[in-house]
Each structure stands twice: as structure tokens, then as C-alpha cells.
Amino acid sequence: MKTLNQYNFAGKKALVRVDFNVPLNDRYEITDDTRIKATIPTIQKILNDGGSVILMSHLGRPKDGPTEKYSLKHLVNALSVIFNRPVKFADDAIGQQAIDLAASLQPGEILLLENLRFYKEEEKGDVAFAEKLSKLGDVWVNDAFGTAHRAHASTAVIGQFFTDKVSGYVMQAELDNAQRILDNVERPYTAIMGGAKISDKILVIEKLLDKVDNLILGGGMTYTFTKALGGQIGNSIHEDDKMELALELIEKAKEKGVNLVMPLDTVMADKFSNDASKTTVPSGQIPEGWEGLDIGHQSIAVFTEIIEQSKTILWNGPMGVFEFSNFAVGTNAIAEAVVKATEENGAFSLIGGGDSAAAVNNAGYGDRVSYVSTGGGALLEYMEGKTLPGVAALEA
């Protein structure tokens, strides 16, 4: 795989797939620009070499073609400020305007294409659509690790139309850090898995049981385990069809000598709301009409002790409904423990994208852990041992 530092972009038009799928408020202002900031070194390297940049991305999940709220035009002003130059915009990624703007692009200039998902062909991996996009640039740079697990036109299929294809700095860092957590880890190695559903994490949990010393489970998925073990979970989120699997995972952990740790207590609420009445009960003792929304202080203490003694830490998924400030205590405490292990114990800590990344960044800890991944689903699939189409296309 060719990396950015091995390529000189002087006089080249670089067609760069980025992941600018950023949250916007109702005034179309960016509320979290982490993903944009992550791509600055890649884009700056191309510009500094004397190349020009054509940016392509998706935003949200538009169902029926062009939609105002998902237009990438809302990012133009922010990008112009970040890169200290006017950013041009093509309101049709493969239309004549895009072709003309790309053709006239001078070294040091940036062009942003409209949301690729306004075209059904993007997600279908349409070859003709990929070929049209490819004609806009001389070299393809894939810096969108967050979509590398999708065989979409711009993330994978497009690679066949380029002799020159290069992985961006984000892509490179993601792969290097994921690889580090898969090979030659320093022990004790602790994985923390949270989030709502076991079904999203089954494969990676099974894979981790062959690698970790400690597996901490938190978040909504634990209520399926608790119910399978005969506990009362009230109205808590769970998957009845995964209870047998939960018991199997507990047995596998025992067989492999993995210390599987689940919450000892739960902060339960009488409704799914930040201003709900709440109280803490032992795990498995949630009455009807109540639901678990966070881990309790006993769980925090046990989890924290394990994390702070670890030398390698992987964290994917929150401990509770961290979007509600009153139920973010557990998730924030885990973030603090991971930071402490990293800074005071020299641990290598990888935060696995999605909600965990948001939780760590919101708490202001993003630069105090070893690496925050920008790609939740892509990272999990990579750790499951799957081939990511966006990576394979760079290697072909």
C-alpha cells in the first residue's frame, strides 16, 4: 500500500475520499468537527507539495436524492476558514460543473463535491458512477477509514481506475493503531465493550476472548446477560433471542481463562429521560416500570481498578445513556480511568470510534488517550479479521 509520504503531489489533482459525515444543528452549523480536523494533515501535505485537492464525502443517510439538510455546501465556509483559502463547491458530483471546476483547478486550490449519497449509485458500488468520479483527478487518496468497510463507489470500486492510489494519514494511523491492538500487546490487556446490543459486537467479543486478559461489559447489552442469568431487568433494553448466546460467551470466557466482568449495580430510571427519577440497585434487581440507564458506583470502582492496572486498553461503546448528563457518570468515569492508565501507567489506549469517541472528546480527554478512532463499524470489522473493501482497493 502506497502511503502519503511516498508520493509527490506536485502538479497533481488529488481526488480525496474523506469522511466529512459530521453532525449539523438546525442552522446547518457543524457541532463536532473532529472528523474534518483529522484530515487536515493529509490535505495540507497535498497542497504543500503543489497539488490541488478534490474532496468527496457523504453526509448522513439521504433517502430520496438531494436533501437540503444533507448538502455538503453547509461545510464550505468552515472548510474555507480551516484551510485559509476559498473552497470551491460543485453541486453535482459528476455533472458538467464538477468536470469544469476540476479541470480548471490550480495547484493549492480545493474543490468540494456534493454529497455522494445523493446518488443511489454510490452505495450500490456502481462501476460507471465510480469511473465518472475517477475522471476528475489524477491520483486517488483514500482517507476515509470510517467507511472502509463499505464497498461503495468512492470508497473501493473507484480504485480500479487509478494507477496511482495512496492511503491518507487518517487511514494509515487507523490501520497502524488497530494492528497494534491485535499483535504484540503488552499485558494485562483489557477490552471494554459497551453499547446497546450484543448483536453488534458478537464477532468482535468472540475474537477478543482469544486475546484479552480482562473483558469488561457495560451498557445496554449487559441486560441481555443479566436476564439470561435469571436476573430482573424491568423495562431495560435487551435481546431475548441473544440470551443463549450470552450464556455461551460467559462459558467461553471461563474456558479461555478470561476475566469477564459485568456491572455489580445499575442506575435505574422510571422513564427514558434525563430528568427521570433515578436510584441505584444491585444488578438483576430492576423492578417492572424501571429501566437501567447507567452503571452504579460499585461497578465504576471495580472497572476502574482493572483499567488502571492495564497496559493495553481497547474501549468501544458507552456504559449507559451518556447523551443524558444524569446518566453519563459511568461513561465519564471509565474515560477518566483510561486517561489515568495512559498517562500514569504508560498504557496504550485505543478508543474505538462512534459513541466512545464522542464520549471521550466531549469530556475533553481526546488528546489524553493514545488514539481515538474515527471509524466505529470499520474498526470492529477490522478487528473481527474481515477484509475492508476500502483497504483492499488501496492494496490491489
Q: Give me the active site residues, please.
A: 35, 197, 354, 377
End-to-end C-alpha distance for the chain, whole angstroms: 8
Give the bridge partners for 53, in sequence order. 14, 110
- Taking the C-alpha atoms of residue 39 and residue 24, their distance in angstroms, rounded to an integer, is 18
Rg over alpha carbons for the chain, rounded to the nearest Å, is: 22
Q: Max CA-CA distance within the chain?
A: 68
Distance, CA of 15 to chain centre: 23
**Contact of 235 with 288, CB cutoff 8 Å:** yes
**Contact of 35 with 80, CB cutoff 8 Å:** no
Q: Which grid cell is 322?
A: 451518556
Unique residue bearing C-alpha cell 480511568:
337
Pairing of strands 214-217, 259-261: parallel
Cα→Cα distances 148→156, 188, 322, Å: 8, 30, 27
Return the exposure string of 266-293: e unless at least 16 CB atoms fall within 10 Å of the residue's CB, then b: bbbbeeeeeebebeebebbebeeebbbb
> What is the chain's percent helix, strand, coil content, to nearest 5?
40, 20, 40
Q: What size, in residues, is the chain?
A: 396
Non-local (6+) Cβ contacts of 183 within 8 A are none
Comparing CA positions, the residue from 188, 21, 220, 2 lying closest to residue 115 is 21
* One-letter identity of residue 389: P
- Taking the C-alpha atoms of residue 383 and residue 377, their distance in angstroms, rounded to an integer, is 10
